[in-house]
Amino acid sequence: MVSVLLLWSLLSGLDIVGPSSLPGPWAVARAFMRLVWDGGQSLLFEAALASMGRVAIAGALVFVVGVPLGILMGASPLTNAVLSPLVDPFRSAPVASLLSVLVMWFGIGEGMKISFLFLGAVVYLIPMVRDAIKAVPQTYWISAYDLGATQFEAVMKAVVPMAKPRIADAFVAAISIEWTYITVAEYVNAESGLGRIISDARRISAMDRIFATILVIIALALLTYRIMTEIKKRLYPWEVE
């Protein structure tokens, strides 16, 4: 981190890269302070709350839809054979290209933004949950059946508990993916949000403000990741290396 900061300072301080392309750390710091508090209000705080709210809502939807569907695909070969061709290709597809389609379907309001974040993350979560279920050794299935469990009971009481740590990892990854898409989601008609700050700054070529906001997004993504991994460690302490 220190080496990156030193290199950044060197490139901008010696005008190797002009301020219109790479503002210096000091300029970004000043822009950050103006975003934190300027004219009696904190534009950055309001934008961060809006973006975190969208990520949280989309994340809840991703969990409610993606986890059960992934479990069903992992437990049922027939369901997996039917749904995999519909889900797996989207992991390699440029989800950002679907933005115009979502605008046509949901308009330019909050529904479109939440839908975009949801779609961008759920196509990763479902296959990861499916793979977590399929990775559970067959001995757990056999033991459950030997005890008289139905297929549903075997899945819910024997297989899913064993797969929970990997499912938790998958959900953490899905939320991280949402943060990578937040600026795209907020690019269209966002009244507030970190993506809106970047979009407005781009129009006036305020690179210092753009860099400051990007650093905030990275910090929030890392903070979210740290919090979620800590929760996972507390829920499944035997998984800690």
Would you put residue 236 in left (φ > 0), alpha (ψ -120 to 50) or beta? beta
Count CB neighbours of 130 within 10 A. 27
The amino acid present at 109, given as its one-letter code, is G
pLDDT for 190: 72
Beta bridge partners of 38: 41
Domains of the chain, by residue range, sit at 25-239
Question: CATH for 25-239?
Answer: 1.10.3720.10
pLDDT for 226: 94
pLDDT for 133: 94
**Collapsed DSSP state (helix, strand, coil) of residue 41:** strand
pLDDT for 94: 74
The amino acid present at 64, given as its one-letter code, is V
pLDDT for 150: 85
pLDDT for 203: 84
pLDDT for 2: 61
Whole-angstrom CA distances from 41 to 34, 44, 89, 132, 206 are: 10, 9, 45, 46, 20
Can you give the pTM of this predicted structure?
0.86
Question: Distance between terminal CA atoms of the chain?
Answer: 25
State pLDDT tens for residues 79-94.
Answer: 999 988 888 887 777 7
Residues of the chain with pLDDT under 50: none
Alpha-carbon gap, residue 116 to 92, rounded angstroms: 16
